[in-house]
């Protein structure tokens, strides 16, 4: 498995349009290539704030702008890509070993993240140089 930004894909989720309000769902192992063990969300993000700034060793994630919009900058140690998320039926799949930064949050935005594992501090690279060394050893 190549853990690079080419493996990080936009996923269009099912959308059941209805005059009463739209509905979207995500099934682990079906719409995304992992089972969901954890959900977390970022909200009340002040203007100009940046989140992320780390990579995960084994974690797979799907990032969705549930409300408002923000950018995700993906970096595999060689290439970088900026992805703007602004729709609740569009997810960004992020494979392991990708450095990510989130910025450009609109006011009132909510970022939901579906994750393949429970929280584990040992799964993080918080140092970019260490992450790059890990990437070259893959």
Residues 6+ apart with CB under 8 A from 96: 3, 55, 56, 57, 58, 59, 60
Of 20-28, 49-57, 60-68, 89-97: span binding ligand TYD (CB under 6 A):
49-57
Asked if residue 41 binds ligand TYD (CB under 6 A), the reply is no
Closer Cβ to ligand TYD, 23 or 34, answer by number: 34
Which one from 54, 56, 60, 84 is the annotated catalytic residue?
54
Place of tokens 């140092």: 127
Closest approach, Cβ 67 to ligand TYD, in A, equals 16
Asked if residue 52 binds ligand TYD (CB under 6 A), the reply is yes
- 54 is a catalytic site residue: yes
Place of tokens 């960004």: 92
Going across the sheet that includes 51-56, the strands are 80-85, 70-75, 99-103, 51-56, 124-125
The phi and psi torsions of 133 (rounded to 5 degrees) equal -65, -40
Query: Binding ligand TYD by CB under 6 A: which of 51, 57, 87, 132?
Result: 51
Q: Which residues within the stretch 57-96 sit at the binding site for ligand TYD (CB under 6 A)?
A: none
Query: Binding ligand TYD by CB under 6 A: which of 10, 27, 40, 133?
Result: 40
DSSP-derived secondary structure for 70-133: EEEEEE-SS-EEEEEE--TTEEEEE-SS-EEEEE-PPTT-EEEEEESS---GGGEE-SHHHHHH
Q: Which residues within the stretch 93-132 sit at the binding site for ligand TYD (CB under 6 A)?
A: 119
Q: Which residues bind ligand TYD (CB under 6 A)?
A: 38, 40, 42, 51-52, 54, 119
The catalytic site residues sit at: 54
């Amino acid at each position: 498995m190549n853990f690079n930004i080419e493996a990080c894909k936009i996923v269009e989720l099912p959308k059941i349009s209805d005059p009463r309000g739209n509905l979207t769902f995500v099934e682990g192992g079906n719409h995304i290539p992992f089972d969901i063990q954890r959900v977390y969300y970022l909200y009340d993000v002040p203007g100009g704030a940046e989140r992320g700034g780390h990579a995960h060793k084994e974690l797979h994630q799907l990032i969705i702008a549930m409300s408002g919009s923000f950018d995700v900058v993906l970096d595999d140690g060689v290439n970088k890509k900026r992805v703007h998320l602004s729709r609740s039926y569009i997810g960004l799949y992020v494979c392991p070993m990708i450095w990510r930064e989130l910025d450009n949050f609109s006011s009132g935005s909510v970022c939901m993240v579906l994750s393949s594992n429970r929280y584990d501090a040992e799964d993080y690279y918080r140092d970019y140089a260490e992450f790059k060394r890990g990437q070259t050893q893959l």
